[in-house]
Amino acid sequence: MFKILRRLVILLLILLIGYQLYHTHQNVKNVMKYENLVSKTLDRNNSTTNVDLVLAIIYTETRGNSLDVMQSSESVDGATNTITDSQTSIKHGVNLLSENISAANEAGVDVWTAVQAYNFGSAYIDYVAKHGGVNTIALAKVYSRDIVAPSLGNTSGETYFYYHPLALISGGKLYKNGGNIYYSREVQFNLYLMKLMNLF
């Protein structure tokens, strides 16, 4: 009886992993549909920003399953979901990311600070420049708690549990209205995940 139960559990785990891999592969394929549009947008802007990095941001933001694929509405007018087509979303998202990367280069900070600033806002670049020059989860956590969350109404330090593997390793909590302190790590992980999935 125990052997049958163990085999059943193993079979269920294999099926679950298989489903997750299939689902991830489908999401990657969905995001890759935007590769040409991203490339053309970068060319039009004379941007040296990496196409794969932009695609990893799309994967992180929406898996390509939204009209505002880069969730760039907030950076345009401060409201969510006001952009209703992928071309406009990518145009504004690429502009913001490119500006962040240029600002990060000028400030002498790492590129992942620019990526984290896509979530936190560009002021994070100057903050990192004044606090060591390298984006870290510890630094992002302090910025989220002390700057982002209070500016959006969370003055009590209220947190919530964030169910993501990269977050679980580091405690799994985010500050309400404080952005995502793990954002740049997720983009970095998704960059490699997409490269791996594109091999199949």
Confidence of residue 194 (pLDDT cuts 50, 70, 90): very high
pLDDT tens digit string along 40-67?
A: 999 998 888 899 999 999 999 999 999 9
pLDDT tens digit string along 83-126?
A: 888 999 999 999 999 999 999 999 999 999 999 999 999 999 99
At residue 78, does pLDDT exceed 70? no
CATH 3.40.1160.10 given to domain 2-197: no
CA distance 155 to 143: 13
| Sequence letter at residue 73 | S
| pLDDT given for residue 1 in this prediction | 67
Instruction: Please report, for the chain, the start and end positions of each structural domain, with discontinuous segments joined by +.
Output: 2-197
Helix, strand, coil content of the chain in percent (nearest 5): 65, 5, 30
pLDDT tens digit string along 37-47?
A: 999 999 998 88
